[in-house]
Structure 1
Amino acid sequence: MGINRSLIEQISYASQNSEAIAASHRLTVTTDSRRGEQNSLFVPLVGERFDGHDHLLSAIDNGAVATLWQRDKALSKEVPADFPIFYVEDTLQALQELAHLYRKAIDPTVIAITGSNGKTTTKDMVASTLEATFKLHKTEGNLNNHIGVPLTLLAMPEDCEVCVLEMGMNHFGEIALLSRIAEPDIGLITNIGESHIEFLGSREGIAKAKSEIIEGMSPDGLLIVDGDEPLLDALRHERVNAVLCGYGEANDFVISDAKGNQEGSAFKVNGKSYTIPLLGAHNVKNAAYAIAVANHLKLSGERIFARLKALKHTAMRLECVAGKAGTLIINDAYNASPTSMKAAIETIKALSDFPNKVIVLGDMYELGPDEEALHREVASVISAPITHVVTLGERAQWIFEACQQEQHPSITLKHFSSKDKVLAYLQTFLSEDTVMLFKASRLAGLEALVERLKNEEDQR
């Protein structure tokens, strides 16, 4: 990245010579002046509608003991004269450079995960598989962008052995930047879907953007990819150490015999049996990625099996929730693309023991000029044993209309314009015979319906 070491050397020197900083066991880094981060280095970022430089006094009140400062910004006379200030040309770039230098200093094995869908679930699976063996640090929440990744790296404890990073993007060049900051030892691309196609033009464009993960990797770094995705063929042929995971026989880690029920999924990878408490063929593939990572890091098969079986995952991603009257609710309302929505529907279709299979679908965003066609395409997987389709929102109405054209007489179709009307309709199906899927982009807010329908006394 062309990093200048003088800044980190200055901060290191100040840490040893400033009483305020030396009093802390370890300097933390924050960009939020409102958070009570004691003994922190405040990094004031500049955005279109905000300027962190305006809030230095608040940061000091909340525990900041030093700050970065852009040279072109005026400094308030109220700032204490002895308060440590490190002047830089650009605070965001300085944050990223500090993160890169700290990554080099700690030198953990860095695992970077990107892809259109499944990044967070795969991150959780990889971390769960490894955390009993290594001192591990991982991305928390949605800190997966040009600010979040540096903050995640800078939050690593000094004895960190493995760092698992989630990397998100919606434009070209963003994954390349994150990769150069983090220098992954292992790069992982979960899949290529339609998320952010509005900005990247096509699935081919998305594949190109995700492939930028190799930019910061050494030539002998391990690349793990979806071996069933033709758009990644060129990338995996470029890499000496490319590992393919998927259902096809040509993969290095071959998935077979996958079966699911409301308790989770059982499957084999290269003939060895595994179970996960998650639904869906796509989550089985995510588990195969975790197996590939763990295998590379020399974990035993027994430990991998035990850790996957016991894993806990992030809420609202095919999360099983106990609903009222014994209803099984599948809450997958955190985000959606056509690929992930179709995968979720296929998951519900594969569940046995539920005569009533109700899918509640909402709007998907950032699909660009083809958003109508991409919504309508979802109807191609809606068939028996689905019994009821409920859509909510202007965009989701395209799914409803496409389902009408498919003419499945065994499926009841309903479209609503308000959550209250959806709720009233769904309450008529609450029983042990019913499974309900909720799937949409986060802006649709379908989790509000889940909250109204779940059994508070019996969380799964």
Structure 2
Amino acid sequence: MNATEFYPLFLKSSGVVIDNRKLQKDNIFFAFSGDNFNAALFAESAVKEGALAVIVEDKKFENPDKNIFCVSSTLEFLQDLAKLHRSQIKIPIIGLTGSNGKTTTKELIHAVLSQKFNVQYTKGNLNNHIGVPLTLLSIKTEHDMAVIEMGANHQKEIAFLSELAQPDLGYITNFGKAHLEGFGGYEGVIKGKSELYDYLINQQKTIIVNNDDSIQNEKTQNYSHKITFGEESADYIFKSFNKDQKVGLQYREMSALSQLTGDYNFTNICAAVTLGLHFGVEISDIKKAVENYEPTNMRSQVVQKNGKTLVLDTYNANPSSMAASLSNFKDFGGSKTIIIGDMLELGDESESEHQAILNLASTYRYDQIITVGPIFFKANRNHQAFENTDALIDYLKKNKISSDNILLKASRGIALEKAAEFI
């Protein structure tokens, strides 16, 4: 069984799942296996529950009469099927990567383009070697275009995902100090993320460029198939403004005030508006999309609670995004406390980067600086420190933070969002 032989059956399916608990009628169930589990054990029950077909990599579970097929690798078969499906799709596909802001930008792009088109897009954080194929396979005939988020923490991953997604347009949000350990330092981050540019240039596809980003300019300076945005010289010129700690965008006579906090979100909004304008979305609809988009994913999410303003930014953190969050938060009116957690996957630079963030935070004169996680715990000698979120919660149960504004920022592994309900 290969992807080409299987493809007609896929076209009859209602979708692809890798979790049998989410199985729906006529789904195709990919039974992944690992060191501690073998989903092929559920192959027969999946068919009984309505699966159209099941893909396993254990020969003893194969049963072609029940559409249970064995392949050498469920992952590779999933990727091959996705690549084959992509080759049949004739709609525009937008590829997106970057160190910070990928998910927010993806959701903004979807919000803007959905004003005119039926847009499929990466759900949640399904942006890796499994998530990208799943997103591609979710594209149906009724979709007019798709937005594919691509994440990576090593060299060659974006190159591989680009070959799968084959984007017609691509955008890199920025190059920051994320996944330094896997990429081999900051220069490795630039090289790894730029693999999207390499693909687009090689295929003569369109690149969206933030003209105010010197690295994006340098990497695309001799390339003609690009659409630029910026605050001065660009195809689309935008101006930023702030009101009530929210980020706004001005384009010609149109002003749109988002529900996002942080100046770093301005370029995320710009990218979405640029694509909306490029694809002919009405200005009034773009304004509505930007203003109505609500972050609900612990990314720059502003929450009012017990008379306090909480900024929840606990889905991800690296030195670049942490510094940007601290800089933005210092401008909030009223008293301010920051609760910052460890930044993961920084390798040999971890200790120095955490110390640099502590030094930066100290210059902003917050009312209180609280750190969470073993790396900050070791570096933090002048402020309150907890080794983990549970220890912080124990403290918060007995001690209330009096500040008007509280920022929570950390890598996902710290699970700092659990502390929000005790503030």
Query: What is the TM-score normalised by the length of structure 1?
Result: 0.83
Assess if the C-alpha contact under 8 Å between 2:99 and 2:178 holds in 1.
yes
Q: Secondary structure at the match of 1:75?
A: helix
| Cα distance change, pair 183–11 in 1 and its aligned pair in 2 (3 A) | closer
Amino acid at match of 1:40: N
Instruction: Give per-residue Cα distances to partners, 1:321-350, cap 9 Å, x unaligned.
Output: 1212x0111111111111111111112112
Residue 53 of structure 1 and its aligned partner are, at CA, apart by 3.3
Contact in 1 for aligned 2:393/2:422 (Cα 8 Å): no
2:416 aligns with: 446
Tell me whether 1:391 sits opposite 2:375 in the alignment. no
CA distance in structure 2 between the aligned counterparts of 1:292 and 1:45, rounded to whole angstroms: 39
Amino acid at match of 1:313: P
Aligned mate of 1:367, from 340, 346, 350 = 346
2:19 aligns to what?
32
CA distance in 1, matches of 2:81, 2:93: 16
2:86 corresponds, among 97, 103, 114, to 103
Q: Match of 1:456?
A: none
CA shift in 2, pair 1:428/1:351, >3 Å:
closer
| Aligned position for 1:175 | 158
1:458 paired residue number: none
SS in 2 for 1:111: strand
Structure 2 stretches of 5 or more lacking a match? none
Shift of 1:49: 4.1
- Of the three residues 259, 275, 282, the one matched with 1:300 is 282
Output the CA distance in 2 between the equivalents of 1:205 and 1:81. 46
SS at match of 1:295: helix
> What corresponds to 1:220 in structure 2?
204
Please give the alpha-carbon distance, in whole angstroms, between the structure 2 residues aligned to 1:323 and 1:239: 49
Structure 1: 5+ residue runs without aligned partners? Answer: 405-412, 454-460
Provide the C-alpha distance between the structure 2 equivalents of 1:291 and 1:388, rounded to a whole number of angstroms.
Answer: 37
Per-residue deviation, residues 106-153 of structure 1 (Å, max 9, x unmatched): 322111111111011001100011112001111111211111111111
Asked whether the 8 Å contact 1:115–1:189 carries over to 2, the reply is: yes
Deviation at 1:310, TM superposition (A): 1.2
1:58 Cα deviation after fit: 3.6
Q: Distance in 1 between matches of 2:216 and 2:399?
A: 41
Aligned position for 1:408 = none
Distance, in Å, in 1 between the alignment partners of 2:128 and 2:293 is: 25
Q: Secondary structure at the match of 2:47?
A: helix
- CA deviation after TM superposition for structure 1 residue 357, in Å: 0.9
Partner residue in 1 for 2:311: 330
| 1:245 shift after superposition | 4.0
Offset of 1:360 from its aligned partner?
0.7
In structure 2, how many angstroms separate the alpha carbons of the residues matched to 1:195 and 1:8? Answer: 38
Paired residue for 1:341? Answer: 322
The answer to whether the Cα contact below 8 Å between 1:111 and 1:165 also exists between their aligned partners in 2 is yes
Q: Could you tell me whether the CA contact under 8 Å between 2:318 and 2:411 is conserved in 1?
A: yes
Q: Evaluate the alpha carbon distance shift between residue 15 and residue 143 of structure 1 in structure 2; reply closer, same or farther with a 3 A threshold.
A: closer
1:75 to 60, 63, 67: 60
Mapped partners of 1:381, 1:258: distance in 2:
25
Given residue 363 of structure 1, which amino acid in structure 2 is its aligned partner?
Answer: D
> What is residue 237 of structure 1 aligned with on the other side?
221
Query: 1:253–1:270: 8 Å Cα contact kept in structure 2?
Result: no
**Using the alignment, how far apart are the partners of 1:156 and 1:193 within structure 2?**
31
Match of residue 56 from structure 1? 43
Distance change (3 Å), C-alpha of 1:128 and 1:257: closer
User: Is 1:420 matched with 2:399?
Assistant: no
Deviation at 1:238, TM superposition (A): 4.6
Inter-CA distance 425–440: structure 2 relative to 1 (3 Å threshold): farther
Between Structure 1 and Structure 2, how many residues are aligned?
418
Report if the CA contact (8 A) 2:47-2:54 is conserved.
Answer: no
2:31 paired with 1:44: yes
> What amino acid maps onto 2:224 in structure 1?
V
1:7 equivalent in alignment to 2:7: no
Q: CA deviation at 1:252?
A: 4.5
1:120 aligned partner, one-letter code: T
Q: What is the letter of the counterpart of residue 158 of structure 2?
A: I
Indicate the SS of the match to 2:187: helix
- Once the two structures are TM-superposed, the CA of residue 385 in structure 1 deviates from its matched residue by 5.5
- Classify 1:347/1:398 alpha carbon distance in 2 versus 1 (closer, same or farther; 3 Å): farther
Asked which structure has the greater CA Rg, the reply is 1
2:294 to 308, 312, 319: 312
Residue in 2 that maps onto 1:407? none
The SS at the match of 1:95 is helix
Distance in 2, matches of 1:274 and 1:15, equals: 42
Amino acid aligned to 1:378? I
Q: Is contact 1:317-1:331 (8 Å) kept?
A: yes
CA distance in 2, matches of 1:294, 1:448: 36
What TM-score comes out, normalization by structure 2 length? 0.90
Distance 1:290 1:241 in 2: 18
The one of 356, 364, 368 equivalent to 1:377 is: 356
Structure 2 Cα separation of the partners of residues 15 and 268 of structure 1 = 45
